[in-house]
Chains A and B, each alone.
Chain A
Amino acid sequence: MVKQKLGSLIVIVGFLSIMSACVEQSPTGHSEKKTANVHVSKQVEKSCISCHAVDQEGKLERIESVRKSPEGWAQTIARMERIHGLKITDKEREQLVVDLSKERGLAPEEAEKVQYWLANKPSYLEANPPNESVVKSCIGCHAAGRFEAQRRTEEEWKNLKDFHLVMYPSIYLNHRHTDWPEEADKAIEYLAKNYGVESKVWDQWKGNEYDVSGKWKVVGFQGTKGFYLGESEFTKSNDGYTEKKSIKFLKGQGPQELSGNMKIYTGYMLRSHYMQGKKKINGSYNVTSENLIKGDWSYKEDLGITGEETYYKVQNEKPEIFHSEPRAWKKGTTNKVNLYGMNLKKLKTEDLELPKGVEVTKLTATSDEQIEAEIKVSKNSETDTFLVNGDKVAVHGKFTLYDKADYLKIEPSYGVSRMGDAGPMDKVSIQYVAYAYSNGKDGKSETKDDLKLGPVEAEWSLLTYPEKNAKRDDRPYIGKLDKNGLYTPKEEGVNKDRTFVQENVGSATVTAKSIIDGETLTTKSHHITTVPDYVNNIH
């Protein structure tokens, strides 16, 4: 034991001697740079500079050649701790994420494109990146959002390839259907060109920060439960904000109370941790202007229970409409519409600038938050989406004029539910929602001009997969689809009632049937209940 300690001491002394020799041999310009500038922040210098040297351009190696989201930086720091021996306290770790996101973060425009990934939306169907090599070398394993939420210099994109080969050497084998190093080189060209570290939007944004203190109105949507309205108040705390929120579903029981803490990163990214009774809820929001916050939330212990929310800053000056039930108005009829917002008692019919053929025939404010309206839409009005303008009113979101609901679509179109709850792994449920669509101007379905009319109530059922001649029926074992479209999987472990040695996994076809204006519409989507995802991060 004494010999071991003595050996360790010799190694440490030797290492320190080499380090001090290196410092002495460094060009003086480097040490001048280091004392003259703070590299990212004092915490970053304290925690990172012992490994990340200052390069010839005066930048902290690697760190100052990339930009990432708070989630991206948190993962990088965790890897430094896990593999490279970084020792930091919880407080220091949090400070690092705050500092790096502030100095080396994403601009709002850059983050908006990957909000689905930052929010870890379950069963989200990403578009394929428009580069075949990126498709071949990257997204067989993980989402495109992972790299699209980063900005790097060309050298840093090249380093990312080397990183993969060292960290995950089996990439040669599990990508043996392609020449991974060659494809990765081509992918790097594309990424360096399209996701470079320099950007005007970042230069414009860096250093700004929103103050979200005060009262807000909330509009949200949770699949299987529908739209809800609420009120929220943000109060500044030592390291961010505290929030108290009260929400009520338009079709549901009394208000639900939430409270939580949130931090602001990069001046506009809010990350919230709520308690709703005993339920833990995580939120990922972006402040998009002084008066608007948009984002997503999900249950900590079931990512599949999730919703979207928009916040509108409370003001007393003029009427503001932020939700309409419905938003799609049928042509050739008088639509009964409920408008939700604030200061609505001040709203007059003539304040609303509507498209040709659309006329408000009745406007009754039942409170400052709600108006019951009758809106007559001529048969000759144009089938399209439109914005409602007006100097004396603020109206958010698009409205739609349509002839008829022609077909339904289910979201998600491919539901991936995961078994869980038998051990530490959480189950992942799915909230299936049916949306009505109109064929649009061309009268043909599944074309670009089709109009999404909104969520509709539906009758839900599960069929076998495939529907005809299925070799087995997984439905009795894999979970349950309730009358509102909520699918709940079962737990892991062998189910002795099944043929072979099998768990509660399998496939099924989800169907939704809805009667709209007397016409019965049906649609289908694919469903699997599968194994847990042990790497619990955003992909």
Chain B
Amino acid sequence: MKHLKSLNWKGKMIEQTVDLEKEPEVQGLALLPMGCTSLFDPGWETDFSGTSLEGVCQPHYRDIYGCYGDCWWAAQVPDGLTNYGSWADECPVAANDWRKLKYVKP
């Protein structure tokens, strides 16, 4: 990340907010409560710091199909690859219809 430079003012603001050089404060799920993932790219419940949410996608539903289609956090977001192919059928545009997204029960 140290080789990336922000081009516009939004990028500069994000750089100020997110300390990219910060060492991870949590190593592994043991320090995160049960049910949270420690796969931090960028992270579901928290970002790589393990304690805050600066680096995660916001609002969360903007990128939820990135998690869903790729089966990225299968214990937190339904996976569209094998298990829940029709989960998002009623919600073609998550940015507009996210209120229709439901729980799944495995």
Interface residues of A, Cβ cutoff 8 Å to B: 75, 78-79, 82-83, 116-117, 121-128, 135, 139-143, 145, 166-170, 173-175, 412, 414-416, 422-425, 465, 471-472, 492-494, 499-503, 505-507, 526, 528, 530-537, 539
B92 CB within 8 Å of chain A: no
Contacts of A424 in B (CB 8 A): 99-103
Q: Are B74 and A414 in contact (CB under 8 A)?
A: no
Q: Which residue on chain A has the smallest CB distance to residue B36?
A: A416
B52 touches A528 (CB 8 A): yes
Contact B76 A507 (CB under 8 A): no
Q: Is the CB of A174 within 8 A of B41?
A: yes
Using Cβ atoms and an 8 Å threshold, which residues of chain A touch B39?
Answer: 140-141, 174-175
- Additional pairs, 16, CB under 8 Å, beyond known A145-B34, A422-B99: A78-B106, A125-B30, A125-B34, A141-B75, A166-B82, A170-B74, A174-B39, A175-B39, A492-B59, A500-B14, A505-B56, A506-B53, A528-B46, A530-B46, A530-B53, A531-B45
Interface of B toward A, CB cutoff 8 Å: 13-14, 16-17, 28-39, 41, 44-46, 51-53, 56, 58-62, 70-79, 81-84, 98-106
Q: Are B103 and A416 in contact (CB under 8 A)?
A: no
Could you list some 27 contacts between A and B, CB below 8 A?
A: A78-B105, A123-B33, A125-B34, A126-B34, A139-B30, A140-B37, A167-B74, A168-B82, A174-B41, A423-B100, A424-B103, A465-B51, A465-B52, A492-B60, A492-B61, A493-B59, A501-B62, A506-B53, A528-B45, A528-B53, A531-B44, A531-B56, A531-B60, A533-B35, A534-B77, A534-B103, A535-B104
| Separation of A117 and B104 alpha carbons in the complex (Å) | 18
- For residue A217, give the distance in angstroms from its CB to the closest CB of chain B: 31
Q: Given known contacts A423-B99, A536-B103, is B35 in contact with A82 (CB within 8 Å)?
A: no
A143 to chain B, nearest CB (A): 4
Using CB atoms, name the residue of chain B closest to A507.
B52
B34, B37, B102: which contacts A124 (Cβ < 8 A)? B34
Q: Are B17 and A501 in contact (CB under 8 A)?
A: no
- Asked if B45 contacts A423 (CB within 8 A), the reply is no
- Would B16 and A471 count as touching, CB distance under 8 A? yes
**In the complex, which residues of chain A have a beta carbon less than 8 angstroms from the beta carbon of B14?**
500
Most buried by A among B34, B39, B105: B34
Contacts of A166 in B (CB 8 A): 82
Residue pair B34, A168 in contact (C-beta under 8 Å): no
B58 touches A143 (CB 8 A): no
Pick from A127, A493, A536: contact of B105, CB under 8 Å: A536
* C-alpha gap A117/B70 in the complex (Å): 27
A101 to B34 alpha-carbon distance, docked (Å): 24
Task: With CB as the reference atom, state the residue of chain B lying closest to A124.
Answer: B34
Q: Which residues of A contact B35 (CB under 8 A)?
A: 122, 142-143, 416, 533, 539
A140 vs B27: C-alpha distance when bound (angstroms): 10
Smallest beta-carbon distance B67→chain A, Å: 9
Q: CB distance A502 to B58 under 8 Å?
A: yes
Closest Cβ–Cβ distance, residue A204 to chain B (whole Å):
30
B101 touching A423, Cβ below 8 Å: yes
The residue of chain B having its C-beta at the shortest distance from the C-beta of A128 within the complex is: B30
Q: A423-B98, A423-B101, A537-B105 are in contact. Are A416 and B75 (CB under 8 A)?
A: no
- Chain A residues in 8 Å Cβ range of B34: 116-117, 121, 123-126, 143, 145, 539
Which B residues lie within 8 Å of A416 (CB)?
A: 32-33, 35-36, 45
A527 — nearest CB in chain B belongs to which residue?
Answer: B51
Given contacts A174-B39, A506-B53, A507-B51, contact A167 B75 (CB under 8 A): no
